[in-house]
Structure 1
Amino acid sequence: MRILLTLFCFPFLLPAGEITGVVVDARGGDALARVRVQLTGTEFQTVTDSQGRFSFARVPAGDYILHVETVGYRLLKQPFSLGSEELKDFQVILSPDTFRRVDSVDVKADPFEFVQAATPTELNLSDAEIKNLGSVLVDDPIRAVQSLPGVKSNNDYYSQFTIYGAPYSAIGFYLDDVLMHAPWHTIQGIRDSGSISILNGDSIESLSLMPIAFPSRFMDRTGAALDVRTREGSRTRPSFRTSASVAQLHLLGEGPLTPSRRGSWLLSFRKSYAQYIARKITDDPAQAVAFTDGMARLTYDLTSRQQGSLQVFTGVTDYDRSQSKARWGVNTLFYAFYRPLLARAGWQYTKSAKLLLSANAAYLRETYDNSNHDQRPLGGGYYGEWTGGGRLTWYWSGDAPLEVGWSTRRIRAEGFDNQYIGTSANVRVRDLHNGTALRQGGYVQQSWTAPGKKMRLSMGMRWDTHNKVGPDAVSPHASLSVAVTKTTQAQFGWGQYIQFPEVSVFSSPFGGLGLLPERANHLVANIEQRLSRTVRVRVEAYQRESRDRIARPFIDPRWVAGRLVGAQASALYFNSVRGYSRGVQFLIHSRSANKVSGWASYTLGYARNRDGADNSHYPDENDQRHTAGVYLSYRFTPSWSMGGKYAYGSGDPVPGFFRRDAAGVYFLTDRRNQTRLPAYQRVDFRLNKSFVFDRWKLTFYGELINATNHYNPRFVSFDSVDSRTGRASLTIQRVFPILPSGGIMLEF
């Protein structure tokens, strides 16, 4: 009996220690609940409480590996030694799946903190939101932007979007301070294509959308600004991951550049198998659309205060319909290639805590070739740009930064659009362009923050010039944020913006150097009420007035006084359109590492235009009166999380002069954009499940797109018209049906 008692008590008599700790989110510093913590190779295992804390009592002295994991975050393994009667306390920092592995916490006092403080209204996405909303099917972070409040994206095939009535052509896509031209895998020159951005979600540091009244630093766009920042690689240790879905394969590696951790590297490669999508959602299963791309980034600390970086994005999109058995016309696209490239160098110098200097230089190149079944050219083009810029930020008095910046863009573009008449031997050039441009600009912006952050005022001014198109332009901007109470904030913004004509427009035979830059005035006001630190309610009213918008008002056929007025193939470009978009938005938003996160929003908007060339008044192509969206996500165990979203749009106008009768037949009319497509509705669900092993982590992703199988159409083309009756033939195509998808990710 004494022997049995001794054996039973022996483990409790050994020298033992205690382990305690807290697990926090590297991105914001929030404590993480429902995280599995274990000592590898032992029976010590627990899950963190609501405060992110864990503890192990009476742990025998020895060497251990602390194993910490939860779905949506990177696996962490930390070796340590525990002495006899030693108390070991850990602060475990978990990095989200798309965030670099770090040893310190980026603490944020406000989970809704703006990336650009000078903007009165910003919508940004967290790492988890980018991953969950980017879609398992395509893993595109810009698809995540489509789910933000007020964003309209009724065409499932495209990553491009509109916001508050502004077309994508007026939205600036800024990638690490470089204004991108066409950063998409797509088929150029046609309307019934699709697109996926050249970015992948695992390389994003931050992503923020400024829908209106954006700061002066963002140039040459009149609608909105999308600011995307890519991240550097991990400096702690090398790590690799591979992910695969039914549509693509993705490989990513990163790690320290030197043993001293003065730099880092990040490499990414993607290969698509988009034929799966084509077979599911098109009428021609012989279509073969695929892309390949890669991204590389090197970051190095030149000195303790200077840092340099090099980045390259490149890829190719390939379209092949050669195996189709259907009979197609001489102008049908059969082969297409598109090749985008971005090479960028950046430099940053922190002179002191009050003075920061940065500069960048980049080269952009895009080429495309389209041909028919005889491999005769249907279209082709080249776009090249050298760009550079710099910025100085000086905190000359407390929290009052003065920001000064400049930019230069040297652009060359050429292209053509062919049409064959009857046979491939009879060709007509419908349009062509060939030209260069030099665009330069600069800005100054001063901000002040009152003590206690009760008020923040920002005022800026921008100057821009173009060597071919005038006149020079000066554009002011101002924003004000006032703390009405401790939990109530009022924000206001106003600004003027310009956008120069593209080279493809002013160098076209139908354009000319007499074209003016497009202009817009923005005005926005909102009031935000915090229900808690992680929950806010906001009401926002906006107005955007535009003028000198470039259009070809006589390019579309119409029916006037009982007869057909045909399209003018030689219709000229004019600065003939004035318009407005105005509306109000309601938003409730929750952002938490442990509770339900997401938002619900409703936007009521109106966008109308007046064309001075033909004296017409009409709804804008992006006039969607009602836009609603819901997104929710929740991590309910250490290894399971789920999310879902709902999108509703009341319907786009069919662009052109069309009316639809009671039988659903289209006819030409004398009024533009009067007929609308049916309302867009889509419900998506996503489920994530992780499995953790000693040296690696496996995550399964499941996704159901358009779970209700709602019929959502898009306008593709106007094909023909009966000149006697005005009856029109249009191609209206369904976008995504119900579409299941799945994928896996392996991290080691």
Structure 2
Amino acid sequence: MKIILPLIRTIALSLLFIYTINSQSTGNIRGTVTDSTTGEIIPYANVVVKGGKQGSSTNSSGYYFISSVPVGERIIIFSCIGYITREVSIIVKGGVINDLNLQLTKKAVDFSEVTIVGDRNARENETDLGLEKISIKDIELQPVGAELDIFRVIQNNPGVNTTGDATAKYYVRGGGSDQNLVLLNGATVYNPFHALGIFSVIDPETISSLEFYKGGFTPALGDRLSSILNIITRDGNKNFYQGTVQAGLLSGKVAAEGPIPGGSFLLTGRKSYYGDILKKYINEKETPFNFYDFSLKVNFSDPSIDQNSKFVAHTFLSSDQVVNNDPLLEDYHIKNNIIGAKWSKIWNGSPLVSDLNLSYSYYEASVEPNLSGSKPRENKVKDFTINADLAYIYDSKDQLLFGFQNKNITTQLKQKNQLNREIDYSVSKSALAAYINYKFFRWDDVGLDIGVRFNFLSMAEKRPFLFEPRVSLTWLINRLLIFKFAFGRYSQDMVALTNEDELISVFEPWIIVPEHVTAAEATHFIVGFTSWFTDKVVLEVEAYYKLMDNLLEVNDQKFTSVQFDFKNINGSSYGIESALKFDGSVFYSKISYALGWAEKYAKNLTYAPRYDVRHSINILAGINPGANWQFTANWVVASGMPFTPITGFFNKLMLDGNIPINILNNYEPEFLYDTKNSARLPYYHRLDLSITKKFSTAIADFTLGASVLNVYNRENIYYFDKKTGKRINQLPIFPAFFVKAEF
């Protein structure tokens, strides 16, 4: 820290010194957009100059910057879904930065313009291919099962698949589940799932903005091959104290927020109380789930201490336990602990913004075998990360972004081998990366993003490359058609040891890539277009090709102790995705279709991973008839996933070193399998319906919701029990409800 803070200040002062206004005939406008009721920032609001081509959108921090605005009196239009549009007059002075902060007022009826489309981006040449911006309203549109869940929303995007109703784990464009990075206020969440993967640990009520990158992400982001989910939580109400109580079928939660001197706070907690509901998800099996999560965020700003600065401190705790109270069954314990701090600053007299983010993330998972016959296992991850990011905006509208990331990670994996000897695989490594990114926005019809990420120090001993170039292009062919392209190289030093043949994998330890294997890498090629038929109807199409090298796999051909436990294999995925969105004041819909292929290349074998889905269709539709009623329907269709069929079995003599007394009773059935994943399950489809009503009383504002999952009780197959041949189906018809009160 003694080096980082002076370095940031030196860079900032240097840029301030070289900042000159080329023309006194234009000026720049910047500021933040906030909610007039709560004082919280509003992300993704559009800010445009009336009658001109200049415009911008607020980022996840509610900040905007508009370059090269002609001097004189100008009208600035502020708009955002769910808020009343405002027009504000400002006298733009040439050669200086003009500050304009604004508050927007929410519309009286929340459901009158709930949308899944959003406004057209104020900067239509924005290089945002592969990026989905998701709001809390998008999450609320989904029918609620056991819990309202952000991952169920992500799975509705084309190119995102899951392996069944009993898991919220997702797979993006043919990549594994451990290739997805989840960030909470800049900190890594290593296990973002409750109840053995059925839903997310992140409470949707806490979310301010959610950015989901399906590929082609910028040089500022790394550490994973497939996707980035960047979650920013709310700051809390800055104007008055507020409380929320919510009860559902599975858990209850409370929240409190309000002002403090110079800022605000947000405190939330959620606790399970009725695990029997989850039996529907896991085929009526008795599984005593017990979980909780807790979060606290405090923000503070004081011009007398540091002008135009904001300080944030946050913590997040979650825990999951499965205690069976049966000595013949295993018990599981999983926890996440996160603590972090952030300093954001808008530099006076300069179009420079900086962020310094510190975070510590702790993950722990353990398996207690009891008398089940399995072996004890334990995994721990300690991750201390420093991120520094700076953004400089030129008069030409171009942007220069640069920064660095330093990680210090310790992983520990303890388990016992077949000889009952404890194996302790503990590693501590550091990583240092820097990036530079230049965005060309000087042309109205073209946006060009060129950058590179430098991996100066890697946690992996064998790394394929030092430089990771990234390129993204947006071309406005005309007002109605936008062409987009992206290319990038990515690498990953940490992996989770997963077995894709396990339907519900509980223990998936994270480790740093071992010394004898090479760190995984991927190359993304993406091309697409966006077509606006009207201001309410938009079609988005993307085609992608992803080449993956050095994927880590358990060495299933290991027969001697001198052979390695892991090996590298290669893979690839390719496909095309489309989404047609319509937004009206009463009716809205989103229809998406994806066609994709995923393959892995082991020695003398090419096969499709279990999460390879050839066809998928998702239709989301809703009606807002008024009076704060909302009706939503979601229909999903997907082709069957691959599996390895059984061709036969034989009786295998089991020898444990002792002379068997009765050799005839010492045989167990051993199965013979066909080629890996050479068969596919039948098609999957399901219809979910929901209804929501909001109303106010003198005591509180209430929200009532009810939903029915799998309305026509489709018997979607989950798997066949290989010992009995019995067919096991997924979630049957499942009604759910919730009630929420805001005080």
TM over 0.5: yes
TM-score, length-scaled by structure 1: 0.75
1:302 paired residue number: 302
CA spacing shift, 1:91–1:265, aligned 2, 3 Å:
closer
SS in 1 for 2:278: helix
- Rounded to whole Å, the distance in 2 between the matches of 1:118 and 1:399 is 14
The CA deviation at 1:26 is 7.1
Q: In the TM superposition, what are the counterparts of 1:181-330 in structure 2 within 5 Å?
A: 181-186=190-195, 193-258=196-261, 262-282=262-282, 286-303=286-303, 304-322=307-325
| Distance 1:392-1:282 versus aligned 2 partners, 3 A rule | closer
Whichever residue aligns with residue 380 of structure 2, its letter is Y
Q: Does 1:640 align with 2:643?
A: no
Q: Distance in 2 between matches of 1:551 and 1:468?
A: 16
Q: Residues of 2 paired with 1:455 and 1:509: CA distance? A: 42
Which residue is equivalent to 1:139?
148
| Match runs of 1:503-582 below 5 Å | 512-554=514-556, 572-582=564-574
Paired residues, number = 611
- Aligned CA distance change for structure 1 residues 366 and 582 (closer, same or farther; 3 Å): same
**1:734 and 2:737 are equivalent in the alignment:** no
Q: Deviations over 1:296-353 (max 9, x none)?
A: 000111334000001110022121221x6xxx85xx31x2221211111011010046
With over 3 angstroms needed to count, the CA separation of the structure-2 counterparts of 1:292 and 1:623, relative to structure 1, is same
* Counterpart among 379, 382, 405 of residue 380 in structure 2: 382
What is the match of residue 715 of structure 2? Answer: 711
Aligned-residue offset at 1:494:
0.6
1:730 CA drift (Å): 8.0
Q: Which residue does the alignment assign to 1:10? A: none
The corresponding residue for 1:350 is 346
Measured in 2, the distance between the counterparts of 1:468 and 1:185 equals 30
CA distance in 1: counterparts of 2:320 and 2:701, whole angstroms: 32
Q: Over alpha carbons, which structure has the higher Rg?
A: 1
Q: Determine the C-alpha separation between the residues in 2 that align with 1:459 and 1:625.
A: 33
CA offset at residue 590 of structure 1? 2.6
- Cross-structure match for 2:106: 93
Counterpart secondary structure, 1:278: helix
What CA distance in whole angstroms lies between the structure 1 residues aligned with 2:386 and 2:478?
43
Tell me which of 419, 429, 441 is aligned to 2:433: 441
| Displacement of 1:419 | 7.1
**Separation of aligned partners in 2, 1:731 and 1:549:** 34
In structure 1, C-alpha distance between the alignment counterparts of 2:510 and 2:265, rounded to whole Å? 43
Contact 1:433 1:504 survives alignment (8 Å): no
SS at match of 2:347: strand
Cα distance, 1:337–1:667 mapped onto 2, change above 3 Å: closer
Letter in 1 for 2:452: M
Q: Distance in 2 between matches of 1:509 and 1:583?
A: 31
Note closer, same or farther for the CA distance 1:526–1:297 as it changes in structure 2 (3 Å cut).
same
1:366 is matched with which residue: 340, 363, 370? 363
Q: Report what 1:630 is aligned to.
A: 619
Match for residue 655 of structure 2? none
Which residue is equivalent to 1:126?
135
Amino acid at match of 1:172: L
Instruction: Confirm or deny that 1:462 pairs with 2:475.
Output: no
Contact 1:150 1:628 in 2 (8 A): no
Q: Which residue of 2 aligns with 1:683?
A: 687
Q: Equivalent residue for 2:400?
A: 402
Change beyond 3 A, Cα 1:529–1:709: same
1:242 aligned partner, one-letter code:
V
Deviation at 1:652, TM superposition (A): 1.6
- Given residue 527 of structure 2, which amino acid in structure 1 is its aligned partner? A
Q: Distance in 1 between matches of 2:368 and 2:124?
A: 44
Secondary structure of residue in 2 paired with 1:250: strand
Decide whether aligned partners of structure 1 residues 658 and 28 sit closer, same or farther in structure 2, where only a CA change above 3 A counts. same
Matches within 5 A, 1:572-611: 572-591=564-583, 594-611=585-602
Query: Which SS does the other structure have where 1:523 is aligned?
Result: strand
After superposition, residues 4-43 of structure 1 pair within 5 angstroms as: none
SS in 1 for 2:277: helix
Amino acid at match of 1:532: T
Deviation at 1:97, TM superposition (A): 8.1
Could you tell me how far 1:470 is from its partner in structure 2?
3.0
- 3-state SS of paired residue (2:166): coil
**Aligned match of 1:50:** none
Change (3 A) 1:475 1:638: same
For the 8 Å contact 2:495–2:552, the answer to whether it is kept is no
Deviations 1:474-516 (A, max 9, x none): 10000100001111101011111111144979x9999841211
Shift of 1:406: 0.8
Which residue matches 2:188? 179
301-310 vs 666-675, which deviates more?
Answer: 666-675
Residue 484 of structure 1 aligns to a residue whose secondary structure is strand
Equivalent residue for 1:497, pick from 490, 500, 525: 490
| Pick aligned residue for 1:480 from 473, 478, 503 | 473
Which secondary structure state, in structure 2, belongs to the residue aligned with residue 138 of structure 1? coil
Distance (Å, rounded) in 1 between the aligned partners of 2:545 and 2:332: 40
Matched residue type, 1:336? Y
Q: Any idea what the Cα deviations from partners look like across 1:221-249, whole Å, max 9, x if unmatched?
A: 11122222212111121111111011110
Q: What is residue 63 of structure 1 aligned with on the other side?
A: none
Deviation at residue 626 of structure 1 after TM alignment: 0.4
The residue identity in structure 1 corresponding to 2:735 is P
Report the Cα offset of residue 467 of structure 1.
Answer: 4.4
Distance of 1:120 and 1:497 partners within structure 2:
16
The sequence identity of aligned pairs, in percent, is 18
Are residues 200 and 579 of structure 1, via their aligned partners in 2, closer, same or farther at CA, if it must alter by over 3 Å? Answer: same
Q: 1:110 to 1:573 in 2, by over 3 A?
A: farther
Q: For the residues of structure 1 that align with 2:627 and 2:515, how far apart are their CA atoms? A: 62
In the superposition, relative to structure 1, how do residues 286 and 358 fare at CA in structure 2: closer, same or farther (>3 Å)? same
Alignment partner of 1:610: what SS? strand
C-alpha deviation, 1:167, in angstroms:
1.6
Q: Do the aligned residues in 2 keep the contact of 1:434 with 1:508 (CA within 8 Å)?
A: no
Distance across 2 between alignment mates of 1:621 and 1:736? 19
Tell me: CA distance 1:243–1:112, structure 2 relative to 1, closer, same or farther (3 Å): farther
Return the letter of the residue paired with 1:384: K
Asked whether 1:668 is paired with 2:675, we answer no
C-alpha RMSD of matched pairs (Å): 3.6
Q: Distance in 2 between matches of 1:596 and 1:441?
A: 47
Corresponding residue SS for 2:591: strand
Q: Structure 2 stretches of 5 or more lacking a match?
A: 1-35, 47-80, 84-102, 112-116, 499-508, 650-668
Alignment-mate amino acid for residue 434 of structure 2: G
Aligned partner of 1:168: which letter?
Answer: S
Question: Contact 1:623/1:653 (CA < 8 Å) preserved in 2?
Answer: yes
Alpha-carbon contact 1:658-1:666 (below 8 Å) kept: no
Call closer, same or farther: CA 1:285–1:116 in 2, change over 3 Å. farther
Aligned partner of 1:687: which letter?
A: I
Measure how far apart 1:539 and its partner are.
2.0
2:334 to 320, 333, 338: 338
Q: Output the CA distance in 1 between the equivalents of 2:557 and 2:155.
A: 30
For residue 631 of structure 2, give the secondary structure of its aligned residue in structure 1. Answer: strand
Contact 1:432 1:508 in 2 (8 A): no
Does the aligned pair in 1 maintain the 2:460–2:513 contact within 8 Å?
no
- SS across alignment from 2:332: strand
Shift of 1:200: 0.7
